[in-house]
Structure 1
Amino acid sequence: MAGSNDLYSPVMSDALVILGAAGIVIPVFNRFRITPVIGFILVGLLVGPFGLGRHVFEYPLLTHISITDPSGLDVFAEFGIILLLFSIGLELSFSRLWDMRRMVFGLGSLELILIGSSLTFIFASIGQAFSGALALGLALALSSTALVLKISNAATPVGKASLAMLLFEDIALVPIIFLLGALAPHAGADGMGNLIHTLGWGTVVVVGLLVFGRYLLPPLFAQAARTKSPELFLAASMLVVILASLLTAAVGLSPIVGALVAGLLIAETEYHSEVEQIMEPFKGLALGVFLITIGMSIDLLVVWENLYSILVATVGVILIKAVVTGVLLRLMGARRGTATETGILMSSPSETTLIVLTAASSAQLIQPGTAQFWQIVTAIGLTVTPLLAMAGKVAARRVDTVEAPHHPSEEGGKPRTIIVGFGRVGRLVADMLTRHDRPYVAVDTDTDFVDEGRRRGYAVTFGDAGRGDAMERLGAADAAAVIITMDVPVTAQRIVRKLRQQYPDLPIIARARDADHAALLYRAGATHAVPETLESSLQLSEAVLVETGVAMGPVIASIHEKRDQLREQIMNQGGLSEKPALRSGQMREPERV
């Protein structure tokens, strides 16, 4: 009987609910290409104490599908944040972190100070005491490390700016909590002394971790690698991250500082990719637990009773943070799209906001009711963060419109080619045009592709070729040709059709997925449609013929002949007897060898 009672213990029941939620939420939301972040928060709303848990006493069977002890999940939620910071450290390195020092301590500090000051001023102006206004301002100025870094890509300009600001906020969390303690009405004169003591010992621990880790971790993981045991690798990784977190927590620092240092140390070893792969599932599950706890903290009845005030507060905080962050990034030289997307992404409060609000309430800087109100605002802000991320991408595309070319569409007497889409294929086309001294300009709707292309020296701009007068502004009327490289069939067909209607004589070369797609592109007005599947088959045939001893000349001639036959078949399939007319001297059929 004892075994039966253990089986149905609250801990086992809660574990089954969480695992069941993960098993349902992750595949369902991935199926619809929606981040599972929203799913986990909704699960928390449903199964938490303000959802099904509210009716456990009326319907005891609900015990098995609801969370009966929300506080018992706190340690798992905190562990999820620790693993997240550990994974961030694995993706970084000391050299990269050193390169980011100006962004972390420059951009990061300015963002926290400006937003914190703005919110403090607003709270003080509506009657909040200065100490309480400062506590609320600093708490709400923080942004969610767990969600922002989960959503953004640290390799993009938006991800880099977000990472720099979030790293500084995580570092500043401990001084903020000590500052609030020193401002408390009951605080003694030793408040600042405790802060200095903690920072001093924290520095000693971090330096010790860096020194000993450099010498101890390589042999530790080398020994784990010799055993060829994934379990031992996992155990060694967990040992390092937990030990580092406990050491920093023991001296009063946040455990996430130790987790970040542990990740940085392992990133310097040759085993970091193996560790990252092994830890990934645990990080995702622990982060899911954290998100469920956020959902469980929202009482929909309280939200409904104070709906207007909560909505005004939530929207107000989001707007202030988005505007201040966006303007700051713009002043520091970021593109309009990057500044807009980063500002909106960083605009919601943070999981650490809840920690600071609790500390402020304990220090009697704010009333418990005030703390509860802003905790609900924070939980709602965290819930809508994925939606803010999507809104940020849309807004970035709107504000980062196509810039009118400052140079004519013909350079050195040569008409310019326009490349629509600047992914892998677009870059390759640009390389070949450059090699043969043909001017071009590329356009793409993905800000990441645009930023990366500009960093590498390509002539690429942001814009949507299918909207408005984007192609006209790029000089399509006088272009040598337009090359459609995007791998989105419907969009490619729409752009080809629109271009053919506006520019009847413009050569349009389009990338096609297969013969059927190529036929549709020809029907839409493409001059040439190049099916990837057929071209790869022709290249394979060419390689085989050459390797088996056939002379190169006959091989090339036969490949050209076969390509012409296939093109004719595709055009007949598309209902065309001949290709659209070309302007004299601009494009010709490739001559047969």
Structure 2
Amino acid sequence: MALETTAGSDLIQVVALLGAAVIAVPIFRRAGLGSILGYLAAGVVIGPFGLKIFSESETILHIAELGVVMFLFIIGLEMQPSRLWGLRREIFGLGALQVGFCALLLTSVGWLGGFPVVQSFVAGVGFVLTSTAVVMQTLEERGELGSPNGQRIVSILLLEDLAIVPLLALVAFLAPGGEHTSLSERMTGIGIGVAAIAALVVAGRYLLNPLFRVLADSRAREVMTAAALLVVLGSALVMQLSGLSMAMGAFLAGVLLSESTFRHQLEADIEPFRGILLGLFFLAVGMSLDLRVVADHWMLIAVYVLAYMAMKAIGIYAVARFLRTSHRAALERAVVMAQGGEFAFVLYSAAAAVGLIDSEANAMLTAIIILSMVLTPLAIIALRWFTPRDEQSLDGVDVADGLTGSVLIIGFGRFGQIASQPLILRGVDVSIIDNDVEMIQAAADFGFKIYYGDGTRLDILHAAGVGNARAVLVCVDKPEVAVRITQLVKAEFPLVTVLARAYDRGTALQLIHAGVDYQLRETFESALVFGGSTLEALGVDPEVVAEVVEDVRRRDAARLDTQITGDLRDGRNFLKGNIATPVPAPVAPPRRPGQPLNAETASVLTKQVPEN
């Protein structure tokens, strides 16, 4: 009976965890506050100081740290050794400079507040260790992991993960009696750490690929998943037993497997566990917030949360600007990384265990870290609201003025670049404008002269010489912009021939109604060539292929004409770029090579729902 009660209680807790996440996260994301804040709030509600469904959040937090471990493993899979080597200056230069400078600033905050230097140092360096989980989740949600600023932030986080090792050793040294630790003991600890890293590198280099090859040959999917989990957790365990961080072990294992042929399979196997455990981590962090300590010392905690976040942000911004990072990138980095992190819990626990800080100070510092993590999504939202976007610098870029080309190309992306080549080879006098400064500068390196200009502005069109041009090519990638430019040109310069790139059929119809002289859906012709090549690869005679492709092209034009006249039921909705009522595309009956299209096949092709 007792066993059944325990099992039922455990099931209630599992349901509570999943239910809290399912309810809170969508609400917070819909409100624009992000999933992290939703998890944290849900953890507070179901924790010891909310509904009391959980009483020992430390146990859950210990398990949930595996989410951070798996997250770093997946990040490691994206970091090939060559790419990591390319970031060595950011990791050991930028990272070390930021950690050292911020540690000095944050230590001074505690010291100026009247606390002893050692305690101020422990509190300060703990807050220096940014939350890998919060920052990585934020960068992933914003799609900035691969951006230059995102890569620099990742480099700093890696250095901070490495810094936990000497910081833990320093805490042991600063402890009462710690200075009497023998040199041989310290050297033994360092040797064990180095040996563990070397063993992991050797195993990853020579054992993991053969292991996964054998498992792949067995064609047992669940065994591959188990092996992936074994690699992640085994690497984390080796690092932990050697005195290093679990996250560093997982990251190192990911890097070693980043060039493996099984990389994508491993990522797919780990991803579900990573997502669930990372959410569980944030829930556990929310549960760990001791509201009694916050209530008893709310003023002191509030002051130090704001002081630590402000001072750390100032330090990050100063280092970034010192290294010639742009104002906006430096400001974003400062706000995103201004919080404390999960490794601070480890450092504070170690400091409390050796007597550097008492249990109340540990609880207060933990509350400060958690509250800083809670405030980070709000600070990012505030930054987005109150900081205007950087204006593009036009240094070295000529603005469109007095152009006289007989053909004006608006937009010089992948489509415009290809479209311009036949004209240039034929010797046509071409003028090109674009509003992407980076692209203009990159094109200049290849000998193209591109002028800066926004095609949706009438004054720019005049300056670009539309009035004297024989043709205007609208090659921009945004459908609404292409339609707007076409409408403007045809309204102000009705005699100029306008040829436009259409994103899809809906855009094509809008362009036609705007008066365009010629439009081409950007994927239509390439898809026809692709389909024709497929028929040839299947052994169909090239002449028959050409006939089929031309027949598809002709029937597509007929459908477009029908839509223009509004005969199709949903024609008006295509003008808005969407379909009101989805209609399943019928399947044409099989047809032998060279066989003429019969009435049934022609009917199917005519009724097919256009999507491109």
| Partner secondary structure for residue 188 of structure 1 | helix
Take 2:110 and 2:460, find their aligned partners in 1: how far apart are those partners?
49
> Contact between 2:233 and 2:250, CA under 8 Å: does it hold in 1?
yes
User: What displacement does 1:80 show?
Assistant: 1.4
Counterpart residue identity of residue 82, structure 2 = S
Task: Decide which moves more: 431-440 or 143-152.
Answer: 431-440
> Contact between 2:162 and 2:248, CA under 8 Å: does it hold in 1?
yes
State whether structure 2 residue 113 is matched by structure 1 residue 126.
yes
Q: Which residue of 2 aligns with 1:45?
A: 44
State whether structure 2 residue 14 is matched by structure 1 residue 15.
yes
Take 1:317 and 1:419, find their aligned partners in 2: how far apart are those partners?
49
Take 1:24 and 1:456, find their aligned partners in 2: how far apart are those partners?
52
User: What displacement does 1:115 show?
Assistant: 1.2
Take 1:226 and 1:110, find their aligned partners in 2: how far apart are those partners?
48
CA pair 27-228 structure 1, distance change in 2 beyond 3 A: farther
| Partner secondary structure for residue 178 of structure 2 | coil
Task: Decide which moves more: 161-170 or 264-273.
Answer: 264-273
> Contact between 1:418 and 1:479, CA under 8 Å: does it hold in 2?
no
Q: Which residue of 1 aligns with 2:305?
A: 314
CA pair 246-562 structure 1, distance change in 2 beyond 3 A: same
> Contact between 2:237 and 2:246, CA under 8 Å: does it hold in 1?
yes
CA pair 397-429 structure 1, distance change in 2 beyond 3 A: farther
* Of 280, 283, 287, the match for 2:278: 287
Q: Which residue of 2 aligns with 1:428?
A: 415
Counterpart residue identity of residue 148, structure 2 = P
Q: TM-score, normalised by structure 1?
A: 0.76
Within-5 A mapping of 1:94-133: 94-133=81-120
State whether structure 2 residue 238 is matched by structure 1 residue 247.
yes
- 1:410-447 CA distance string (max 9 Å, x none): 69964996756x9xxx43324433675555454469xx
State whether structure 2 residue 469 is matched by structure 1 residue 478.
no
CA pair 91-454 structure 1, distance change in 2 beyond 3 A: farther
> Contact between 2:487 and 2:515, CA under 8 Å: does it hold in 1?
yes
Cα RMSD (Å) of the superposition? 4.7
CA pair 346-522 structure 1, distance change in 2 beyond 3 A: farther
| Partner secondary structure for residue 548 of structure 1 | helix
- 1:452-473 CA distance string (max 9 Å, x none): 9799979999x9979xxx9699
Q: Which residue of 2 aligns with 1:548?
A: 544
Q: Percent identity?
A: 27
Q: TM-score, normalised by structure 2?
A: 0.74
Q: Which residue of 2 aligns with 1:584?
A: none
Q: Which residue of 2 aligns with 1:298?
A: 289
Q: Which residue of 1 aligns with 2:54?
A: 67
Take 1:227 and 1:497, find their aligned partners in 2: how far apart are those partners?
62
Counterpart residue identity of residue 239, structure 2 = T
Take 1:517 and 1:554, find their aligned partners in 2: how far apart are those partners?
23
Take 1:391 and 1:244, find their aligned partners in 2: how far apart are those partners?
39
Q: Which residue of 1 aligns with 2:375?
A: 384
Counterpart residue identity of residue 204, structure 1 = A
* Of 150, 155, 158, the match for 1:159: 150
State whether structure 2 residue 77 is matched by structure 1 residue 86.
no
Take 1:385 and 1:2, find their aligned partners in 2: how far apart are those partners?
44
> Contact between 2:103 and 2:124, CA under 8 Å: does it hold in 1?
yes
Take 2:91 and 2:434, find their aligned partners in 1: how far apart are those partners?
33
CA pair 555-353 structure 1, distance change in 2 beyond 3 A: same
State whether structure 2 residue 326 is matched by structure 1 residue 340.
no
Take 2:344 and 2:337, find their aligned partners in 1: how far apart are those partners?
13
> Contact between 2:453 and 2:460, CA under 8 Å: does it hold in 1?
no
> Contact between 2:434 and 2:453, CA under 8 Å: does it hold in 1?
no
> Contact between 2:29 and 2:38, CA under 8 Å: does it hold in 1?
no
- 1:37-96 CA distance string (max 9 Å, x none): 22211210110111111xxxxxxxxxxxx2233222133122112212222222212222
> Contact between 1:340 and 1:395, CA under 8 Å: does it hold in 2?
no
Q: Which residue of 2 aligns with 1:586?
A: none
User: What displacement does 1:113 show?
Assistant: 0.9
Take 1:175 and 1:328, find their aligned partners in 2: how far apart are those partners?
22
User: What displacement does 1:104 show?
Assistant: 0.8
Counterpart residue identity of residue 286, structure 1 = L
> Contact between 2:119 and 2:357, CA under 8 Å: does it hold in 1?
yes
Task: Decide which moves more: 19-28 or 339-348.
Answer: 19-28
Counterpart residue identity of residue 50, structure 2 = G
* Of 258, 266, 269, the match for 2:257: 266
| Partner secondary structure for residue 267 of structure 1 | coil
Counterpart residue identity of residue 389, structure 2 = R
- 1:361-398 CA distance string (max 9 Å, x none): 44444454444333222112212333444555667762
Task: Decide which moves more: 436-445 or 35-44.
Answer: 436-445
Take 1:86 and 1:412, find their aligned partners in 2: how far apart are those partners?
54
Counterpart residue identity of residue 206, structure 1 = I
| Partner secondary structure for residue 111 of structure 1 | helix
Take 1:557 and 1:290, find their aligned partners in 2: how far apart are those partners?
55
Task: Decide which moves more: 514-523 or 360-369.
Answer: 514-523
CA pair 288-569 structure 1, distance change in 2 beyond 3 A: same
Within-5 A mapping of 1:567-582: none
CA pair 540-259 structure 1, distance change in 2 beyond 3 A: closer
User: What displacement does 1:568 show?
Assistant: 7.0
Structure with greater Cα Rg: 2
Take 2:549 and 2:280, find their aligned partners in 1: how far apart are those partners?
65
> Contact between 2:403 and 2:464, CA under 8 Å: does it hold in 1?
no
Counterpart residue identity of residue 259, structure 2 = E
Counterpart residue identity of residue 478, structure 1 = A
Task: Decide which moves more: 378-387 or 527-536.
Answer: 527-536
Within-5 A mapping of 1:530-549: 548=544
> Contact between 1:175 and 1:195, CA under 8 Å: does it hold in 2?
no
User: What displacement does 1:162 show?
Assistant: 0.9
Take 1:72 and 1:195, find their aligned partners in 2: how far apart are those partners?
30
Counterpart residue identity of residue 257, structure 1 = M
User: What displacement does 1:5 show?
Assistant: 2.1
Take 2:39 and 2:447, find their aligned partners in 1: how far apart are those partners?
41
Counterpart residue identity of residue 94, structure 2 = L
Task: Decide which moves more: 88-97 or 332-341.
Answer: 332-341
Take 2:56 and 2:104, find their aligned partners in 1: how far apart are those partners?
38
* Of 203, 206, 211, the match for 1:215: 206
Counterpart residue identity of residue 38, structure 2 = G
CA pair 120-502 structure 1, distance change in 2 beyond 3 A: farther
> Contact between 1:484 and 1:508, CA under 8 Å: does it hold in 2?
no
Q: Which residue of 1 aligns with 2:603?
A: none
User: What displacement does 1:267 show?
Assistant: 2.1
User: What displacement does 1:145 show?
Assistant: 1.0
> Contact between 1:244 and 1:258, CA under 8 Å: does it hold in 2?
yes
Unmatched runs of 5 consecutive residues or more in structure 1? 54-65, 575-593
Take 1:350 and 1:505, find their aligned partners in 2: how far apart are those partners?
64
| Partner secondary structure for residue 257 of structure 2 | helix
Task: Decide which moves more: 115-124 or 43-52.
Answer: 115-124
CA pair 285-537 structure 1, distance change in 2 beyond 3 A: closer
CA pair 500-266 structure 1, distance change in 2 beyond 3 A: same
| Partner secondary structure for residue 277 of structure 1 | helix
Take 2:320 and 2:453, find their aligned partners in 1: how far apart are those partners?
24
User: What displacement does 1:224 show?
Assistant: 1.0
Counterpart residue identity of residue 4, structure 1 = E
Counterpart residue identity of residue 115, structure 1 = C
Unmatched runs of 5 consecutive residues or more in structure 2? 425-429, 467-471, 536-540, 573-612
User: What displacement does 1:551 show?
Assistant: 8.0
User: What displacement does 1:206 show?
Assistant: 0.8
Take 1:382 and 1:476, find their aligned partners in 2: how far apart are those partners?
52
Take 2:123 and 2:163, find their aligned partners in 1: how far apart are those partners?
15
CA pair 30-503 structure 1, distance change in 2 beyond 3 A: farther
Q: Which residue of 2 aligns with 1:230?
A: 221
- 1:209-257 CA distance string (max 9 Å, x none): 2113322112211111011112111111222222222222222112222
> Contact between 1:542 and 1:559, CA under 8 Å: does it hold in 2?
no
Counterpart residue identity of residue 129, structure 1 = P
